[in-house]
Amino acid sequence: MELPQIDWENPPLDPPEQVAQPLMWRLAARLLHDHVTAAGSWPLARCRVCELVWPCPARRYAERGLLAACRHPVAGRGAAAFTDWFLAADEPPGGGW
């Protein structure tokens, strides 16, 4: 899988052409843009939306969602393994991208 050459801290809301799953990209990018640090949340950074310690769980899901959107969907048993990885905090199945 080749990742798009973009600013991953501030990805575009519209997916680059090589993104395999554009809808997932759009959802993840919107979530990522919403869950940013709140102004004045010092000394402990907090999320502007959910007020949890940043990076909040929604931000982490958004980051993983952007990466997952770049992969082609898999069918059968592999899809379940990928979903399990996406929802967990572990490495992807097979040891990497």
Domain that includes residue 50, residue range: 22-88
Q: How many domains does the chain have?
A: 1
The CA-atom distances, in angstroms, between 91 and each of 6, 23, 82 are: 23, 23, 10
**Phi, psi of 53, deg, nearest 5:** -60, 135
79: pLDDT strictly greater than 60: no
pLDDT digits (tens, 9 = 90+) for 45-75: 999 999 999 899 999 999 999 999 998 876 6
- Whether 64 is covered by a domain: the verdict is yes
Decide if pLDDT at 85 tops 70.
no
Residue 69 lies inside a defined structural domain of this protein: yes
Report how far residue 66's alpha carbon sits from residue 8's, in angstroms, rounded to the nearest whole number: 9
Is 6 part of any domain?
no
Burial class (CB in 10 A: 0-12, 13-18, 19+), 44: exposed
Q: What is the pLDDT of residue 83?
A: 62
